[in-house]
């Protein structure tokens, strides 16, 4: 989170060193473009910036996107995943309308989160919602990996029913991230997660998918790249930006190379910069599907602002 959207790796290292643990964000963020970002709600229905509004669109400033978050605190899209998990559990399955009610209430109520940056997908949704467009139709065509984190709880929930997992995940994705690019990227991640959750090794599954070439995002020389330094691959060959045509292949490369070492995989991803938060969320889900929570460093689990139940004790 503190080094999210650092595209200058020298600046990342100057500000934080080699990042291996949760840290607080620092102001200013040298690569921040909040000064040229804008959102003006058409009416109260579309108001989602709340107390973060003063930090948007101020020329000459470089506010950190997550300036008020604490070490180990989740960014907005991951907090929305928590809403989704609540909905799945309380509804005993996926209910798009229930989730949309929770989403709209969460985003339009001040104080529910402290993230300064709100991604374009949410701004587009609430611009349309303020115009009285039905919620299921408020999403605008998207291409950012941040949308893929929302399908992960659904795939896990329905992992014993692959057909339902796919249909519900794609239905959910289309609420805020419609479009062919996102559906194509999501289909790849859904298939990969389902295979690994069913017990197939992560690296073998990726290699099988590469050989089959069933998705355009698989058309890179991943195996050949494994002998190259990571910063020769992610950056020069695959952009560190959020676009799924680059960020999803970057995740496949890192998962293939570091499938045996989840800690190293996520540390490397973090220090490569760019959209490392949501690239890392998807990568972490793939590694977690294979190895479970026990193979992540204990200090990371316990260092979360809202950690899971203590694994050393039975959970009631």
What is the assigned CATH class of domain 9-303?
A: mainly alpha
Euclidean distance between CA atoms 253 and 145, whole angstroms: 15
The pLDDT of residue 314 is 40
Question: Which candidate, 114, 22, 11, places its Cα nearest to that of 65?
Answer: 114
| CA nearest to 85, candidates 99, 97, 75 | 99
Please give the pLDDT value at position 310.
Answer: 61
pLDDT tens, N- to C-terminus, the chain (316 residues): 999 999 999 999 999 999 999 999 999 999 999 999 989 999 999 999 999 999 999 999 999 999 999 999 999 999 999 999 999 999 999 999 999 999 999 999 999 999 999 999 999 999 999 999 999 999 999 999 999 999 999 999 999 999 999 999 999 999 999 999 999 999 999 999 999 999 999 999 999 999 999 999 999 999 999 999 999 999 999 999 999 999 999 999 999 999 999 999 999 999 999 999 999 999 999 999 998 998 899 999 999 998 876 654 443 3
d(CA 233, CA 306): 34
pLDDT of 184 reads 98
**60-74: buried (b, 16+ CB within 10 Å) or exposed (e) per residue?**
eeebbbbbebeebbb
Q: Please give the backbone phi and psi of residue 176, each rounded to the nearest 5 degrees, phi first.
A: -125, -15
Q: For the chain, what are the domain ranges? A: 9-303
Which tokens go with 120? 């374009």
Between CA 247 and CA 241 the distance in angstroms is: 7
Cβ pair 135, 104 in contact under 8 A = yes
Residue 308 pLDDT: 78
Across the strands, what pairs with 183?
Answer: none
Nearest to 34 by CA among 73, 3, 70, 60: 60
Note whether 9 and 272 are within 8 A (CB).
Answer: yes
Contact 293/311 with Cβ under 8 angstroms? Answer: yes
């Amino acid at each position: 989170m503190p080094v999210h959207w650092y595209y200058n790796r020298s600046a990342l290292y100057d500000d934080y060193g080699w990042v291996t643990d949760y840290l607080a964000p620092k102001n200013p963020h040298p690569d921040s473009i909040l000064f040229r970002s804008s959102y003006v709600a058409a009416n109260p229905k579309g108001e989602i910036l709340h107390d973060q509004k003063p930090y948007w669109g101020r020329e000459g400033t470089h506010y950190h996107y997550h300036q008020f978050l604490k070490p180990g605190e989740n960014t907005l899209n991951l907090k929305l995943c928590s809403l989704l998990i609540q909905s799945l559990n309380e509804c005993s399955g996926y209910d798009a309308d229930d989730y949309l009610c929770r989403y709209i209430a969460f985003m339009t109520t001040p104080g529910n989160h402290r993230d300064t940056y709100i991604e374009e997908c949410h701004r587009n949704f609430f611009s349309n919602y303020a115009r009285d467009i039905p919620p299921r139709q408020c999403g605008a065509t998207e291409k950012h990996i941040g949308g893929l984190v929302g399908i992960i709880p659904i795939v896990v929930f329905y992992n014993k029913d692959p057909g339902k997992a796919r249909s519900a995940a794609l239905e959910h994705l289309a609420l805020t991230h419609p479009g062919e690019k996102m559906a194509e990227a999501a289909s790849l991640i859904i298939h990969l997660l389902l295979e690994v959750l069913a017990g197939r090794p992560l690296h073998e599954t990726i290699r099988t998918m590469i050989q089959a070439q069933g998705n355009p995002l698989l058309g890179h020389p991943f195996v050949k790249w494994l002998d190259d330094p990571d910063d020769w691959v992610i950056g020069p060959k695959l952009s560190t930006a959020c676009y799924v045509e680059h960020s999803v292949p970057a995740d496949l490369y890192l998962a293939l190379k570091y499938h045996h070492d989840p800690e190293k995989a996520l540390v490397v991803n973090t220090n490569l910069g760019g959209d490392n938060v949501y690239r890392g969320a998807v990568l972490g889900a793939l590694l977690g599907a294979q190895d479970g929570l026990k193979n992540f460093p204990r200090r990371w689990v316990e260092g979360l602002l809202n950690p899971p139940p203590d694994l050393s004790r039975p959970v009631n």
